[in-house]
Structure 1
C-alpha cells in the first residue's frame, strides 16, 4: 500500500488533502525520515546489547518495516482528530 502511494505520488489528483492540508504522501515522507533516525538508534542499541552486527541489523530491519507502517497509520489517524488544532 505504501509502495503504491509512493509510485503514484506524481499524480496530483490521486491524493486529497485532509482537513490539516496534508496529503498522505507527506505522512509517508515523515514516516520514512523518522524511521531512518529510529532504525539507526535500534541498530546501535542492538549492537551494544548483542555484540553481533548481523543480529543487530536483523533486529533493526524488522523494526524499520513494522514501525514505518505503524507510524504512517498513527499519523493519518491524528490528522483526522480535530483536538488541539
Structure 2
C-alpha cells in the first residue's frame, strides 16, 4: 500500500511535467507565454487534485494486487 505522502509526491512531479508541456503547447498555439502559462497553471491545479483523488481511490481496490 502507498502512503499518502508518496501519492502526493508522485502527483506533484507528474503535474510539473504536465505544467511544462502544457506551457509549451499553450505558447505554440497562442503565441503568448502568459496565456500559455495561465492555461497550464489551471490545468495543473485541476489535474493535481484529480490525480490525488484517483490514486487514493485505487488504494482501496484490491483487484490486481499480489500479496506476499
Partner of 2:9: 29
CA RMSD after TM alignment: 0.7
**Structural mapping, 1:1-85, within 5 Å:** 20=1, 22-85=2-65
In structure 1, list runs of 5 or more residues that go unmatched: 1-19
Deviation at 1:70, TM superposition (A): 0.5
Q: Give the equivalent residue in structure 2 for 1:4.
A: none
Q: Counterpart of 1:71 in 2: which secondary structure?
A: helix
1:39 Cα offset (Å): 1.0
**Under a length normalisation based on structure 2, what TM-score does the superposition of the two structures give?**
0.90
**Number of aligned pairs?**
65
